[in-house]
C-alpha cells in the first residue's frame, strides 16, 4: 500500500503511472453517460482539487458511487494519468474507492453555489471547506511562519507573555475580568467587591497587550518579541475590530523611534513579499474573486518606501483637503478610519507612518517630547485597512514616567516593577504591535476582519 499523498504534492509533482493513495472531501461529482464518474477531491493542502476518475474498474462501482456526494470524505487508491481535460496536468484513475464518511445531500449546507460571507460566519465549523476560507487559513499560516522567521533571522528571542494579568497596558480600561468569585451572589450582600478574596488576591483580567512584560525581557536579554492572543472589551462593531485578536509585539533596547519605524516598515514589506511567493495560487484567487487590487497593492508595498509624517502635519493636510469627511479633523483627536484611508488610498497612495501624536490620546508608556504636547508614538497606516501597527519609543526616564502614570489617572504603586526597569539600568527602547488579522485583511482583500480569524469573538458572538 502506498503512503498517503497530499493533493498539492500530487498536482505539483505526481508522475503518470504512479500509484497514489489520496484522502479528502468531495467538492463535486459528475456522472458521465458512458459508465464513469468524475469526482473533485480537496484535502485543504491547496486551492485546486484533484480530479478522480471512477469507473467500472472500481469494485462495486454502481453501488458505491451513489453515496459519493458533496461534502463526504473518501479514500482513493489510484493511478495517475496525464489529464486530457483542460485545467489540470494530471488526474487520478481510481482502483479502489472507500467512502469514509457520508454527507447527507439534503442537509449539507455547502452547495456548489457561492455563499455570502455573512452566511458562512454562521457555519464557521464548515467554512474552512470552502475555497475562500481554505485560502485564508493557508495565508494566515504563511504569515505566521514569516513573522517568526523574520525575527528569528534577526536574533530576536521569542518570549511568552501572560494571558492573565493585573495591569492595564493600554490604560483604556477595556478589559475582560477574570474571577472565580460568585459575583451574582456577592452583589446581594455587598456593594463593593473585595478582590482580595479573589483567586489572584487582586482584580485580574485578560491581557490587552504583552508589551509591558516584553519590555522586561528587552531590557535584560535584548531584542525579543511576543506573539499571542490579546483581548479587548471595546464595544466596537466595526469591520476592523475583534474582542480577541492576535498581536505580534517586538521590543528593542537602544532603539529610538526612527529605528522602530525602519524595522516596522521592513517587517510589513517582508510579509507582503513572502505571502506573494509562498501562496501564489491563493493570492491569485483573492485577486480574481475578492479584490482585484490586492496583488498590485502588495507589490506596491513590497517595493516602495513608506511615507513618514508627523501627526500635526497630517492634520493640516487633512484640514486643507477638499474631501468631505463625516468626522471633522481636529488636532488632539484620534484620526478616524476615513482620514487614515484618505491618506493611504487617495493622497499618498502608499503606506504612511504617522508619528508624534498628542499625549492626551496615547497611553502612559510613550516617551514625552520636549514640546510638552506630543509623545513619540507611531501608527503605520495601510490602504483599505488603516492602522495596522501601533508603536512607540518608551519613556525611559523614571521621574517623567511616574508623573505620566499619575497624569493618566493610574497609581505608580501598581506599576512598581515597570518603574523598576527605569530605576535600575534604564535604556532608551522602543517597540510596536502588529495586529495579525489586520494583516490578513490587507493581504487577502477581505473586507471584514471576522473572516480573517478562524473563530471570531465580537460583541454578542462567541459561538464555536
Ligand atoms: O495600537 P495598539 O493598541 O498598540 C498596543 O497594543 C501596543 N501595546 C503595541 C506595542 O507597542 N507593543 O494595537 C496594536 C495593533 C493595532 O495597530 C491593530 O493592528 C491591532 O493591534 N488591534 C486590533 N486588531 C483587531 N481588533 C482590535 N480590537 C484591535 N485593537 C488593536
Ligand atoms: Mg493603536
- List pLDDT tens digits, range 253-289: 999 999 999 999 999 999 999 999 999 999 999 999 9
Q: Is the CB of 438 under 6 A from ligand 1?
A: yes
Q: Is the CB of 71 under 6 A from ligand 1?
A: no
Q: Is the CB of 231 under 6 A from ligand 1?
A: no
Mean pLDDT within 110-116: 88
Q: Is the CB of 435 under 6 A from ligand 1?
A: yes
Residue with cell 483604556: 172
- Ligand 1 atom nearest residue 243's Cα: 28
Whose alpha carbon is nearest atom 31 of ligand 1?
435
Query: From the CA of 248, which ligand is nearest?
Result: 1
Rounded distance between C-alpha atoms, residue 247 and residue 391, angstroms: 12
pLDDT at 1 over 80: no
Query: From the CA of 211, which ligand is nearest?
Result: 1
pLDDT tens for 369-410 read 999 999 999 999 999 999 999 999 999 999 999 999 999 999
pLDDT grade for 113, boundaries at 50, 70 and 90:
confident
> How much is the pLDDT for 168?
86
Q: Which residues contact 17 (CB under 8 A, 6 or more apart)?
A: 79, 80, 81
> How much is the pLDDT for 2?
66
pLDDT tens for 402-428 read 999 999 999 999 999 999 999 999 999
Q: Which residues contact 115 (CB under 8 A, 6 or more apart)?
A: 130
pLDDT tens for 60-76 read 999 999 999 999 999 99
Rounded distance between C-alpha atoms, residue 461 and residue 364, angstroms: 31
pLDDT grade for 79, boundaries at 50, 70 and 90:
very high
pLDDT grade for 11, boundaries at 50, 70 and 90:
very high
Q: Which residues contact 204 (CB under 8 A, 6 or more apart)?
A: 164, 165, 166, 177, 178, 179, 198
Whose alpha carbon is nearest atom 28 of ligand 1?
241
Q: Is the CB of 388 under 6 A from ligand 1?
A: yes
Cα(390) to centroid of ligand 1, in Å? 6
Q: Above pLDDT 70, what percent of the chain?
A: 100
Q: Which residues surround ligand 2, an ion (CB under 5 A)?
A: 390
Mean pLDDT within 110-126: 93
pLDDT at 190 over 90: no
Cα(278) to centroid of ligand 1, in Å? 26
pLDDT at 320 over 60: yes
- Ligand 1 atom nearest residue 242's Cα: 26
Q: Is the CB of 387 under 6 A from ligand 1?
A: yes
Mean pLDDT within 453-464: 96
Q: What is the mean pLDDT of the chain?
A: 96
> How much is the pLDDT for 89?
94
Rounded distance between C-alpha atoms, residue 291 and residue 270, angstroms: 21
Q: Given CA atoms 100, 101, 104, 108 in this order, what sign does their dihedral have?
A: negative
Q: Is the CB of 390 under 6 A from ligand 1?
A: yes
Amino acid at each position: 500500500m502506498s503512503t498517503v499523498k497530499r493533493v498539492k504534492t500530487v498536482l505539483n509533482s505526481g508522475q503518470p503511472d504512479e500509484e497514489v493513495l489520496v484522502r479528502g472531501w468531495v467538492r463535486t461529482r459528475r456522472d458521465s453517460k458512458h459508465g464513469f464518474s468524475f469526482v473533485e477531491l480537496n484535502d485543504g493542502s491547496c486551492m485546486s482539487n484533484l480530479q478522480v476518475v471512477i469507473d467500472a474498474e472500481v469494485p462495486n462501482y454502481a453501488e458505491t458511487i451513489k453515496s459519493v456526494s458533496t461534502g463526504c470524505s473518501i479514500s482513493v487508491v489510484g493511478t495517475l494519468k496525464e489529464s486530457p481535460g483542460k485545467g489540470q496536468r494530471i488526474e487520478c484513475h481510481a482502483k479502489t474507492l472507500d467512502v469514509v464518511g457520508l454527507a447527507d445531500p439534503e442537509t449539507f449546507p455547502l452547495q456548489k453555489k457561492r455563499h455570502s460571507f455573512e452566511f458562512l460566519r454562521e457555519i464557521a465549523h464548515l467554512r474552512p471547506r470552502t475555497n475562500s476560507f481554505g485560502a485564508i487559513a493557508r495565508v494566515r499560516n504563511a504569515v505566521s511562519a514569516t513573522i517568526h522567521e523574520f525575527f528569528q533571522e534577526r536574533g530576536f528571542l521569542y518570549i511568552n507573555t501572560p494571558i492573565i494579568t493585573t495591569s492595564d497596558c493600554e490604560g483604556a480600561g477595556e478589559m475582560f475580568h477574570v474571577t472565580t468569585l460568585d459575583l451574582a451572589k456577592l452583589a446581594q450582600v455587598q456593594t463593593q467587591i473585595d478582590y482580595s478574596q479573589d483567586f489572584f488576591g487582586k482584580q485580574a483580567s485578560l491581557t490587552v497587550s504583552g508589551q509591558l512584560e516584553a519590555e522586561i525581557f528587552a531590557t535584560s536579554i535584548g531584542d525579543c518579541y511576543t506573539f499571542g492572543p490579546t483581548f479587548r472589551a471595546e464595544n466596537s462593531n466595526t469591520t476592523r475590530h475583534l474582542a480577541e485578536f492576535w498581536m505580534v509585539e517586538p521590543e528593542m533596547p537602544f532603539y529610538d523611534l526612527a529605528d522602530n519605524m525602519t524595522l516596522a516598515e521592513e517587517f510589513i514589506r517582508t510579509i507582503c513579499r513572502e505571502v506573494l511567493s509562498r501562496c501564489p495560487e491563493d493570492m491569485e484567487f483573492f485577486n480574481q474573486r475578492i479584490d482585484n487590487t490586492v496583488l498590485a497593492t502588495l507589490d506596491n508595498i513590497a517595493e516602495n518606501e513608506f511615507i513618514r509624517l508627523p501627526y500635526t502635519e497630517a492634520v493640516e493636510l487633512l484640514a486643507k483637503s477638499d474631501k468631505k469627511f463625516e468626522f471633522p479633523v481636529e488636532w488632539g483627536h484620534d484620526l478616524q478610519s476615513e482620514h487614515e484611508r484618505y491618506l493611504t488610498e487617495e493622497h499618498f497612495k502608499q503606506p504612511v507612518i504617522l508619528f508624534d501624536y498628542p499625549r492626551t490620546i496615547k497611553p502612559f508608556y510613550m516617551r514625552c517630547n520636549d514640546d510638552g504636547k506630543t509623545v513619540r508614538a507611531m501608527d503605520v497606516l495601510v490602504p483599505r485597512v488603516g492602522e495596522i501597527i501601533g508603536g512607540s519609543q518608551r519613556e525611559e526616564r523614571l521621574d517623567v514616567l511616574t508623573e505620566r502614570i499619575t497624569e493618566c489617572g493610574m497609581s505608580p504603586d501598581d506599576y512598581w516593577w515597570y518603574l523598576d526597569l527605569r530605576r535600575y539600568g534604564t535604556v532608551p527602547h522602543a517597540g510596536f504591535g502588529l495586529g495579525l488579522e489586520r494583516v490578513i485583511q490587507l493581504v487577502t482583500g477581505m473586507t471584514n476582519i471576522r473572516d480573517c480569524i478562524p473563530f471570531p469573538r465580537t460583541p454578542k458572538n462567541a459561538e464555536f
